Structure 1
Amino acid sequence: MNPLIGITCHHDFEYLYMLNSSYVQSITEAGGIPLLLAMGMKNDVSVLVDRLDGLVLSGGFDINPLFYGEEPIQELGEIYPGRDDNEMELVRAFLQADKPVLGICRGHQVLNVVQGGTMYQDIHTQIEGNVLQHIQRARRDHLSHRVQILDDSKLSKIYGTSSILVNSYHHQAVKEVGDSLKVCGTSSDGIVEAIVSEKHNFVVGVQWHPEDTACSGDAPSKKLFAAFVEACS
C-alpha cells in the first residue's frame, strides 16, 4: 500500500494556503500519497501521527529566534510564529513515534530547533569569511553549488557518493546542532547543509530544495525521495 505522507504548508494569514507543486510531484513520483497539512492542528497531532506514515516539513520564511533563545537581529526576515508552533508540535510527535521525517530548507532548520539546536539568523552578517551565494540567482532547478556528504552516513548510502550538487535558497543556517542530530553534509564555506538523527529510523534535514531538482530529473534528488517514501512504507 502506498504510504500517506503529510506535507506542511505556508499560510499567508489572510486567504491562502500555499505549497509549490514540486513537493506533491516528488512524493507522488516516489510512490507516496501526499496530504497537505493546514495550520492550527495542534490539538489533532495525535490523530495525524496515527494516520500518517511520514512527514515532510516544507520550506518557507524564517523561524522566530525566540524558539532558540535569541532575540531578532536587524537582518531577520519575515516570520510566521503560528506556523512555528504548529510544525514543532508535529515534529515532536513524529519523533516520539519514530515515524519518518524529511525536513527541507526551513524544515531542516525546524528539525534542528526542535531538538535544541540554534541558528544563524543571517549567514551573511554572522559568519566571517567568504560565504557562498546561498540565495542563487537562477531558476529553482539549477544546481548551483556542491555539498560534501559524510562517508558512511545515511545520505552517503542513499546517494552512493560523497559529493552532490544542489540548489540553494536560504539566508539562515544551522549553527549549533540539536540533540541526537549529526551533521552529514556541508558546503565548502562550512555551512551545515544536511543533518540526520542518530536515534531514529529516518529523520533527515537538507538545506537545499530537492523537490525542485527531482522534478527536473536530478538523480540524487530522486534517490532521496525514494529512500524517504520507502522508509514510510
Structure 2
Amino acid sequence: MKPLIGVTSDIDQNGDILVQTRFIRAVRQAGGVPVILPVGLEAIEEVCDRIDGVLLIGGEDVDPYLYGEEPHRQLGKVLPERDESELALIKRMADQDKPVFGICRGYQLINVAFGGTIYQDIYAQLSEDLLQHHQLTDLDFAFHSIDIVGDSKLAEWAGTSEVRVNSLHHQAVREVHAPLVVTAVAKDGVIEAFESTAHRFVVGVQWHPEAMVKREDPLSLKLFEQFIEAAREKR
C-alpha cells in the first residue's frame, strides 16, 4: 500500500481551507497518498497514529512568541491556531520517528519545535547585502544558488555541493539546535536547509521544491521521493 501523507493547510481570506495544488501533485508524483489536514486540527495523536508522514507547507509568518520574542515591526500576519496544531503534529510525529518534511514556513516551524529561532524579517534584521529572497519570476524557475554541506543526506541526494533553488520568503531560520544540523546555506549566509541527526527523516528546506517538481528538477524530485520512501519504510 502507498503511504498516507498528511498535508497541512492554510486559510484564505474567506476562512476556507487552502492548499496549493502543487503540494498535492508532488506527493502523488513521488508515490504517496495526500490527506489534507485542516488548520486547528483536533485529535492530533489519533491522526498521527494513522498517517505515515507529514508535509508542512508554506504560508503566513510564525508567531514570534513561540520562540521568545516580541513582534518586529516588519512581522507579517500570524495564525496562532495554525502554529499550535502544526507544532503538535511535528512533536508527535518526531516522537514516533515518522517522517516530517517542512517547506518554507513549515521548515521554520520545525526549527521552532526543536528550540530554534527565526529572523522575523531578514531585510530588517540582516545585512543590506542580502540576495533577493522573494522572486518575482514563477516559482517553477530556480532563482539563486545554495551551498550544500558535505556529509549530509541533502548532499547525498543532490550529488553535488551547489544547486540553484527558487525563493519566496522574508523570514528565515536563525539559531538551529541539536538534533537539527544545517545542511545548506545561500551565498549571503541565509540558512536554506537542515536535517535531524536523530530521526529517520526530519528535513526542512527554505525553498519550494514542490513548485520545481513539474520541471523535473533532480533535487526537488529526490526530496519528495526520499520523504515518501521513509514513510513507506515506517509503514
Give the TM-score taking structure 1 as reference length: 0.97
Q: Structure 2 matches for 1:66-145, cutoff 5 A? A: 66-145=65-144
Deviation at 1:127?
0.6
Alignment match, 1:17: 17
Could you say what secondary structure the match of 2:34 adopts? strand
Alignment match, 1:189: 188
Per-residue deviation, residues 51-78 of structure 1 (Å, max 9, x unmatched)? 1000000000100000000000110011
Per-residue deviation, residues 66-119 of structure 1 (Å, max 9, x unmatched)? 000000011001111110001001001011101001000000000000111011
Q: Structure 2 matches for 1:147-186, cutoff 5 A? A: 147-186=146-185
AA in 2 matched with 1:20: Q
AA in 2 matched with 1:17: I
Give the TM-score taking structure 2 as reference length: 0.96
Instruction: State whether residues 214 and 221 of structure 1, in contact with CA within 8 Å, keep that contact through their aligned partners in structure 2.
Output: yes
Q: Distance in 2 between matches of 1:178 and 1:129?
A: 26
Deviation at 1:125?
0.8
Percent identical pairs in the alignment equals: 45
Per-residue deviation, residues 117-166 of structure 1 (Å, max 9, x unmatched)? 01100000101241000000111111000111111101011121111110
Which sits farther off after the overlay, 5-14 or 85-94? 5-14
Q: Distance in 1 between matches of 2:214 and 2:57?
A: 15
Deviation at 1:39?
1.9
Q: Distance in 1 between matches of 2:207 and 2:55?
A: 14
Alignment match, 1:8: 8
Q: Distance in 2 between matches of 1:178 and 1:105?
A: 18
Instruction: State whether residues 146 and 166 of structure 1, in contact with CA within 8 Å, keep that contact through their aligned partners in structure 2.
Output: yes
Alignment match, 1:58: 57
Stretches of structure 2 lacking an aligned partner (at least 5 in a row): none
Deviation at 1:13?
7.1
Q: Distance in 1 between matches of 2:220 and 2:194?
A: 16
Alignment match, 2:35: 35
What is the RMSD of the two structures over their aligned residues, measured on CA atoms? 1.0
Per-residue deviation, residues 148-207 of structure 1 (Å, max 9, x unmatched)? 111110101112111111000000001111331100000000000001011101000000
Q: Distance in 2 between matches of 1:33 and 1:230?
A: 12
